[in-house]
Amino acid sequence: MDFASIIQSIFGSINVEIFFSKMLAGALTTLEIFFLTLLFSLPLGMLLCLGRMSHLKVVSMPVRLYLLVMRGTPLMLQILFVFFGLQPLFGIQVDRFSATIIAFSLNYAAYFCEIYRGGMESIPKGQFEAAKVLGYSKSTSFFKIILPQVIKRIIPPMGNEFITLVKDTSLAKIIAVVELMKVTEEYVNSAVNVVPFFVAAVFYLVMNGVVSRFFSVVEKKLSYYN
């Protein structure tokens, strides 16, 4: 038996070529969800963090409520709500993919907010004081002195969150976004063959392998000081 026929026997009735091209397309959608979510939630999380740390209660209290709702309810529920709930309540209809990005971004921003806050609060008070006495404005002190140190400190929890996000993208299948998990499930159901599960697992593992490699490189780059 040659290699091609071994492969075909594993996949049974599945057309391997079509299967892999569909899986790749699904993986591409998964990556789109991943990157677009980061694009929106990383800055949004920083804004939330500044609000959360504000001394003004009118600012910090709504942010706290937001964090409670976003972290206290399932992401799946939030995805369903954005896709099905906005139309009857506010008359806004969003397509499946946009609903996914909106729900993921709002949800992940809440987690990033708390990671940023942890980072900010771990910076010694003396750093803020030194910058203030030297005459740095609040924004310069934040961007030039505090933020670079915060970034170094939040690398490990951020790595966790990124890895979780790669896996969480699979929740998008609940509103029929054709990402990796959706493709996998359709194949398993129609071909009555569990091999696609293993293939999907390899896809996710490869993506997260890249993510964790990326984080160890960044961590190493920032290890020039303690």
Partner 1 sequence: MKILEANHLVKSFGSLEVLKDISIEVKKGEVLAIIGPSGSGKSTLLRCITQLEDVDNGEIVICGETLCAKGENGKAQYASKQQRRKIGLHLGLVFQNFNLFPHLSVIQNVMNPQTEVLKKSKDEAEKHAKELLAKVGLTEKENAYPCELSGGQQQRVSIARAMAMNPDLLLFDEPTSALDPELTGEILKVIKGLAKLKTTMVIVTHEMSFAKNVADRVVFMDNGYIIADGTPSEIFDNTDNTRIREFLAKFDD
CB 159 within 8 A of CB 215: yes
Is residue 45 a contact partner of residue 177, using CB atoms and an 8 Å limit? Answer: no
Residue number, 153 or 182, with CB nearest to partner 1: 153
CA dist 58 to 51, 53, 55, 117, Å? 9, 12, 9, 18
**Shortest CA distance to 163 belongs to which of 98, 214, 103?**
214
CB of 156 to partner 1, least distance (A): 17
Nearer to partner 1, 136 or 215 (CB): 136
CB of 197 to partner 1, least distance (A): 45
Residue closer to partner 1 by CB (options 100, 141) is 141
| Min dist. Cβ of residue 141 to partner 1 (A) | 9
Binding residues (CB under 8 A) for partner 1: these are 124, 126-127, 129-137, 140, 144-145, 148-149, 152, 224-226
DSSP-assigned letters across all residues of 1-31: --HHHHHHHHHTTS-HHHHHHHHHHHHHHHH
Q: Which is nearer to partner 1, 21 or 54 (CB)?
A: 54
Considering the complex, what minimum distance in angstroms separates the CB of residue 128 from partner 1?
9
In the DSSP assignment, the letter for residue 135 is T
